[in-house]
Amino acid sequence: MQPVRAIYPGTFDPLTNGHLDLIARGAKIVDHLVVSILRNVNKGKPLFTIEERLEMIREETRRFPNVTVEAFDGLLVDFARQQGAIAVLRGIRAISDYEYEFQMAMMNRKLAPELETIFMLPHEKYTYVSSRLIKGVFQLGGDVSDLVPKLVMERLQAKV
């Protein structure tokens, strides 16, 4: 069997403890995991630049010897092939995530039948955590300090 290389794609604007929890779970079951940050998103202006996100995620994943962090443009399946990945890792927090994830996984399968999607469940305590909510709550003065890594919290504070 060849070593299993997988990508964990997302926007990560910013990285949350839910993402980190999933990275830790993924890193246990694959030989190499490439956290892959999408450069161009249609979700409006990101809070953190790609460089800031790369730096934060690299710092936070330094403790995992089999995890690297990259940024990508274009189709996820093209990036996966370029990385030599045979699987895509995605987290499902609740049933509400499933429909979107199912559509993406099926479209990716149509585009690249050889690529498998692996769904994992983050810890229950992060089921409601999303980057979008973190940004919204933080910008209105809410405390999100136990939902994001310390470094991300510091960077959020520096942004405001």
Question: Which residues of this chain interact with ligand PNS, rule CB under 6 A?
Answer: 9-11, 38, 75-76, 104, 107-108
Reading the block at residue 58, the tokens are 């690299």
Taking the complex as a whole, the smallest distance from the CB of residue 121 to ligand PNS amounts, in Å, to: 16
Beta carbon nearer to ligand PNS, 2 or 42: 42
Buried b / exposed e across 79-94, counting CB within 10 Å, b at 16+? bbeebebbbbbbbbbe
Taking the complex as a whole, the smallest distance from the CB of residue 38 to ligand PNS amounts, in Å, to: 4
Beta carbon nearer to ligand PNS, 22 or 27: 22
Say how many Å lie between the first and final Cα of the chain, rounded: 49
Between the alpha carbon of residue 156 and those of residues 58, 134, 142, 153, the distances in Å are: 17, 10, 12, 5
Beta carbon nearer to ligand PNS, 27 or 38: 38
Dmax over CA atoms of the chain, in Å, equals 51
Beta carbon nearer to ligand PNS, 15 or 153: 15
Determine how β-strand 87-91 pairs with β-strand 116-120: parallel
Q: Which residue is nearest to ligand PNS (CB)?
A: 10
Taking the complex as a whole, the smallest distance from the CB of residue 115 to ligand PNS amounts, in Å, to: 11
Taking the complex as a whole, the smallest distance from the CB of residue 71 to ligand PNS amounts, in Å, to: 11
Catalytic residues: 19, 43, 93, 131
| Burial of 112 per CB tally in 10 Å (0-12, 13-18, 19+) | middle
